[in-house]
Copies of this chain bind each other. A is one copy, B any other.
């Protein structure tokens, strides 16, 4: 920052817009009766001058704090961080501050954070989780939107990744490439994200008159499991005399990386003999794989942004209800096609 210039004051905005300071206040705080054109003119003037309303003064005037709590139950933050960054972006664009509060999976800590956020008079709260399992709602007197991990209460507003759509995209991509003997290797069977994707993939195969080459393999979200599952797949098909898979749909990029590593180590070419798809588009896995992975980007930042939009609507008096799905995006790389 080169220098701290004189802060822009409300009178400067008023002068540029040709209105009184009181009108500026009403326009920027969405209070009082003003013509839309006046409101617009004031906003343009404020933006042109880079006017930042004094948070405390604004909040006293409007009984709103113009701040939102970002409550995360995650500790590592692999999934919740992009969601929170997306939300923070959308909130900043709407002149709202984001109060960060991480509970690290500890309910007592979460309770403490919720009380602290309410003590701050936040206008609303975005709750994110470490996975997509439905979670217990928080009970607070302000609007709440759940992001990534939906609320168990059906009337609450939740924004979650469309895992079924992702699995269908992967299968459709493989079928379009002419693959017909599809195997599935995924993570923990007690995780909704694993089960939802497997069921959607199987359904998509059935609709094409196909089935998986053997029962889907559930295990862990690790590279090691990807390697073990590949050994199991190749062993079974070798011993049964059955044709092996020509495609393996994986439940995560980590699993897919283990699968491609083991296929390469056993002399099976990817994608020549077997095409492989991942899930998450986590660059350190998807780009570092040999070959780089075709995968699904769950668009977590967009998901966070959308959660912030729903919350801003609710704060403005137009709440949403139920679950909104964010469709993932197929990212095609060399693990399925070497064109």
A99 within 8 A of B: yes
CA–CA, A77 to B67, complex, Å? 22
Q: 0/1 per residue, A115-146, Cβ < 8 Å to B?
A: 11011110000000000000011111100000
CA–CA, A284 to B289, complex, Å? 13
Q: 0/1 per residue, A44-86, Cβ < 8 Å to B?
A: 0000001011111001100001010010000001000100110
Number of interface residues of A (CB under 8 A): 53
**Which residues of chain B are near A136, meaning CB under 8 Å?**
1
Cross-chain contact B89 with A120 (CB below 8 angstroms): no
Q: Copy number in this complex?
A: 2
With A55-B121, A121-B55 already in contact, the answer to whether A116 and B99 are too (CB < 8 A) is no
**Which residues of chain B are near A3, meaning CB under 8 Å?**
139
With A4-B140, A139-B3 already in contact, the answer to whether A100 and B84 are too (CB < 8 A) is yes
CA–CA, A280 to B101, complex, Å? 25
**Which residues of chain B are near A1, meaning CB under 8 Å?**
110-111, 114, 136-139
**Which residues of chain B are near A7, meaning CB under 8 Å?**
115
Cross-chain contact A100 with B88 (CB below 8 angstroms): yes
CA–CA, A116 to B284, complex, Å? 34
**Which residues of chain B are near A59, meaning CB under 8 Å?**
56
Cross-chain contact B116 with A92 (CB below 8 angstroms): yes
**Which residues of chain B are near A55, meaning CB under 8 Å?**
119-121
Cross-chain contact B116 with A97 (CB below 8 angstroms): yes
Cross-chain contact A102 with B116 (CB below 8 angstroms): no
A335 within 8 A of B: no
Cross-chain contact A99 with B102 (CB below 8 angstroms): no
CA–CA, A111 to B141, complex, Å? 34
Cross-chain contact A119 with B53 (CB below 8 angstroms): yes
CA–CA, A119 to B58, complex, Å? 10
CA–CA, A55 to B60, complex, Å? 12
Q: Contacts A52-B116, A67-B120, A98-B99 known; list 20 others, CB within 8 Å.
A: A1-B137, A4-B139, A4-B140, A7-B115, A56-B59, A56-B65, A70-B100, A77-B77, A77-B81, A81-B81, A84-B100, A85-B102, A88-B100, A88-B102, A92-B113, A92-B116, A95-B116, A97-B120, A99-B99, A284-B284
Chosen A-B contacts, 14 in total, with CB atoms closer than 8 Å, are A1-B110, A1-B111, A1-B114, A1-B138, A1-B139, A4-B139, A50-B112, A53-B119, A54-B121, A56-B120, A88-B101, A92-B101, A97-B120, A100-B100
